[in-house]
Structure 1
Amino acid sequence: MVDSATILHIDLDAFFVAMELLRRPELRGLPVVVGYLGPRGVVATASYEARRYGIHSAMPTLRARRLCPTAIFLPPDFTYYAPASRRFHAILREFTPAVETVSIDEAYLDVAGCEPLFGPPAAIAATIRSRIRDQIGITASVGIATNRLVAKVASDAAKPDGLLHIPPGQEAAFLAPRPLRDLPGVGRRTAEILHGLGIATIGELAALPATILEAKLGRHGRELQQRARGIAPGGVIAHPPGRRSISREHTYQRDEPSRERLLATLHRQAEHIAEDLARQERSARTVILKLRFPPFETLTRSITPGRQLILPQDLYTAAVTLFEAAWNEHGRQPVRLIGLGVTGLTERARQLALGETVAPAALQQTIIALRQRFGEHTIRRAAELPPPPPQQP
Structure 2
Amino acid sequence: MAGGTLPGTDADDDAGSDRVVFHVDMDCFYASCERLRRPEMAGEPLVVGMGYEAGETIGAVATASYEARAFGVESAMPISEALELLPRRANADPDDPDAPDPDEAGRYLPVDLDYYKEVAGDVKAVLRDCADVLREVSVDEAYLDVTDRTAWDAAGDSADLPPSAAAGPAETRTLAEGYARHVKQRIEREAGVPASVGVAPNMSTAKVASDADKPDGLVVVPPGEVEPFLASLPTAEIHGVGPVTERTLAEMGIETAGDLAAADPDRLGEELGDRGRELYRRARGEDDREVTPTGLPKSLSRESSLSATADEDRKRETVRALAADVARRARERGCLYRTIGIKAVEPPYEVNTRARSLPGPVDDPDLVESVALDLLDEFAGDRVRKLGVRVSKLDFAESDQATLGGFDAGDGPGDGSDGAADRPRRSDGRTTATDGNGGKLTDWVDGEPTAEGDAPGADAERRTGDGQASLGDWE
Give the distance between the partners of 2:240 and 2:149, measured in 1 at CA.
Answer: 31
* Residues 180 and 186 in structure 1, CA contact (< 8 A), matched pair in contact too: yes
Shift of 1:146: 0.8
Task: Work out whether 1:20 is the aligned partner of 2:34.
Answer: yes
Q: Deviations over 1:324-363 (max 9, x none)?
A: 6x38989xxxxxx99998xxxxxxxxxxxxxxxxxxxxxx
- Say which SS state the counterpart of residue 29 (structure 1) adopts: coil
> Matches of residues 208-219 of structure 1 in structure 2 within 5 Å?
208-219=263-274
Give the distance between the partners of 1:148 and 1:71, measured in 2 at CA.
Answer: 36
Task: Work out whether 1:194 is the aligned partner of 2:267.
Answer: no
Cα distance change on mapping 1:30 and 1:163 into 2, 3 Å? same
Residue of structure 1 equivalent to 2:9 = none
* Residues 137 and 452 in structure 2, CA contact (< 8 A), matched pair in contact too: no
> Matches of residues 217-366 of structure 1 in structure 2 within 5 Å?
217-238=272-293, 239-242=295-298, 302=453, 322-323=455-456, 326=458
Residue of structure 1 equivalent to 2:357 = none
Which structure carries more relative contact order (alpha carbon 8 Å, separation 6+)?
2
Q: Which moved more, 1:36-45 or 1:99-108?
A: 36-45
Q: Deviations over 1:167-222 (max 9, x none)?
A: 11211111111122111211111111112223221111211212332232222211
Q: Which amino acid aligns with 2:217?
A: G
Q: Deviations over 1:267-310 (max 9, x none)?
A: xxxxxxxxxxxx99999xxx998xxxxxxxxxx5627xxxxxxx
- Say which SS state the counterpart of residue 164 (structure 1) adopts: strand
Q: 9, 18, 23: which one pairs with 1:4?
A: 18
Q: Deviations over 1:51-104 (max 9, x none)?
A: 223333333333333333333221111222222211111111222221111122
Residue of structure 2 equivalent to 1:131 = 186
- Say which SS state the counterpart of residue 62 (structure 2) adopts: strand
* Residues 288 and 302 in structure 1, CA contact (< 8 A), matched pair in contact too: no
Give the distance between the partners of 2:461 and 2:185, measured in 1 at CA.
Answer: 41
Cα distance change on mapping 1:214 and 1:339 into 2, 3 Å? farther
Residue of structure 1 equivalent to 2:70 = 52
* Residues 32 and 193 in structure 2, CA contact (< 8 A), matched pair in contact too: yes
Cα distance change on mapping 1:282 and 1:61 into 2, 3 Å? farther
* Residues 5 and 144 in structure 1, CA contact (< 8 A), matched pair in contact too: no
Residue of structure 2 equivalent to 1:163 = 218
Residue of structure 2 equivalent to 1:86 = 121
Cα distance change on mapping 1:53 and 1:151 into 2, 3 Å? same
> RMSD value over aligned CA atoms?
3.5
Task: Work out whether 1:72 is the aligned partner of 2:113.
Answer: no
* Residues 5 and 168 in structure 1, CA contact (< 8 A), matched pair in contact too: no
How many residues matched? 269
Cα distance change on mapping 1:142 and 1:210 into 2, 3 Å? same
Cα distance change on mapping 1:145 and 1:57 into 2, 3 Å? same
Q: 237, 259, 264: which one pairs with 1:204?
A: 259
Residue of structure 2 equivalent to 1:104 = 139
* Residues 133 and 145 in structure 2, CA contact (< 8 A), matched pair in contact too: yes
Unaligned 5+ segments in structure 2 are 6-16, 88-104, 156-173, 301-392, 398-447, 463-468
Cα distance change on mapping 1:89 and 1:225 into 2, 3 Å? same
Shift of 1:152: 0.8
Shift of 1:6: 0.8
Unaligned 5+ segments in structure 1 are 245-278, 290-299, 304-321, 331-336, 342-393
Q: 184, 205, 230: which one pairs with 1:150?
A: 205
Give the distance between the partners of 1:26 and 1:241, measured in 2 at CA.
Answer: 36
* Residues 9 and 152 in structure 1, CA contact (< 8 A), matched pair in contact too: yes
Q: Which amino acid aligns with 2:456?
A: F
- Say which SS state the counterpart of residue 158 (structure 1) adopts: coil
Give the distance between the partners of 2:44 and 2:113, measured in 1 at CA.
Answer: 22
Residue of structure 2 equivalent to 1:317 = none
Give the distance between the partners of 1:104 and 1:328, measured in 2 at CA.
Answer: 20
Cα distance change on mapping 1:162 and 1:197 into 2, 3 Å? same
Q: Deviations over 1:138-174 (max 9, x none)?
A: 2111111111111011011121111111011211111
Greater Cα radius of gyration, structure 1 or 2: 2
TM-score by length of 2: 0.50
Shift of 1:20: 0.8
TM-score by length of 1: 0.60
Q: 207, 232, 237: which one pairs with 1:177?
A: 232
- Say which SS state the counterpart of residue 198 (structure 2) adopts: strand
Q: Deviations over 1:9-65 (max 9, x none)?
A: 111211111111122223222211111348983322111111223333333333333
Q: Which moved more, 1:87-96 or 1:118-127?
A: 118-127
Residue of structure 2 equivalent to 1:251 = none
